[in-house]
Amino acid sequence: MTTQSVNVFFQTQSGKAISLNDESVTDGTAQELQSGGNGLNLVSGVSLGQFAEGEVLTHGLGVFSDSGVYAYILDPNGKIIMPISICSDQGPNPILPLCRPIRMVTGMTCQVLSVDTGGASNPNTGVGFYCTDGSVEYFTAQATNNSTVQFTSVQTGQSIGQTLSGKVIMKGFVNTAVLLDAGESAGFMGIPILSSEGYTKAIYGPTYAVGNQTLPQVFPVRVMQNDTMQVTYDAS
């Protein structure tokens, strides 16, 4: 299995910077990222909530040496509470404001999922949503050549409609480790949400995880129980 280096940085209201680091994150396996950073004077190997207890995070950025699917913060109960913009270590990658300031308490953790270039590890495409009620959910899929694949929640294993029924999406964060229409024939260069009646409710632009940064996309949409979300990929 392949590995890569991952860093996540945060800016705080107090003026301090928070650094999390792991030089050997296993691709395709979600894991916690703890405090660390080469050349920095800090205690390594401590979970985010304990390391930054009492601090209010205002900005965040996840940097993958190859490419990533997602980075987010979990509360002490294991619920996703904040998406984090991610990028590879190529090109201009500014640290961006979080969807809202968030105070750290012991038990909070930062979770990341990396993927090798070309998306051979599973999954290779991730979509995070921040809703108007402040809730957050992430969905993943394994984009497969000449196929349309449905997204499922990383926490419930269910569809977007089953997971977010009745909620209104405020912002979307989309990452993929593959060029969805590389074959310029049968792919679709967007991530659509479809209603049970068959019409398209929203389309979010994908961010190719190599050399680019995920920017939050504002495309408000109310999710209903039978809605679905899919990715269509053409590699050749």
Whether residue 148 is predicted with pLDDT greater than 70 in this model: the reply is: yes
Average pLDDT value for the chain:
92
Query: What residue spans define the domains of the chain?
Result: 3-233
pLDDT at 176: 87
For residue 48 the two structure tokens come to 């985010």
Name the pTM for this structure.
0.93
Measured distance CA(124)–CA(128) in Å, rounded: 14
> Model confidence over 29-81: pLDDT tens digits?
999 999 999 899 899 999 999 999 999 999 999 999 988 999 999 999 999 99
Percent of the chain with pLDDT over 90: 70
Alpha helices in the chain (DSSP H): 48-51, 160-164
pLDDT at 116: 84
How many angstroms from the chain centroid is the CA of residue 230? Answer: 16
Which of these, 13, 11, 108, 27, lies nearest to 65 by C-alpha position? 27
Whether residue 93 is predicted with pLDDT greater than 90 in this model: the reply is: no
Whether residue 183 is predicted with pLDDT greater than 90 in this model: the reply is: no
For residue 179 the two structure tokens come to 């060029």
Residues 176/214, Cβ–Cβ less than 8 Å? no
Which of these, 195, 194, 220, 192, lies nearest to 205 by C-alpha position? 192
How far from 86 is each of 66, 81, 169, 200, CA to CA, in Å? 11, 16, 20, 27
Whether residue 209 is predicted with pLDDT greater than 90 in this model: the reply is: no
Structure-model confidence comparison of residues 236 and 102, the more confident one: 102
Neighbours of 196 (CB within 10 A): 11
Measured distance CA(167)–CA(180) in Å, rounded: 28
User: Tokens 């969807």 map to which residue?
Assistant: 99
Whether residue 132 is predicted with pLDDT greater than 70 in this model: the reply is: yes
Measured distance CA(40)–CA(209) in Å, rounded: 27
pLDDT at 121: 64
Measured distance CA(97)–CA(85) in Å, rounded: 9
Per-residue confidence band for 134, with pLDDT thresholds at 50, 70 and 90? very high
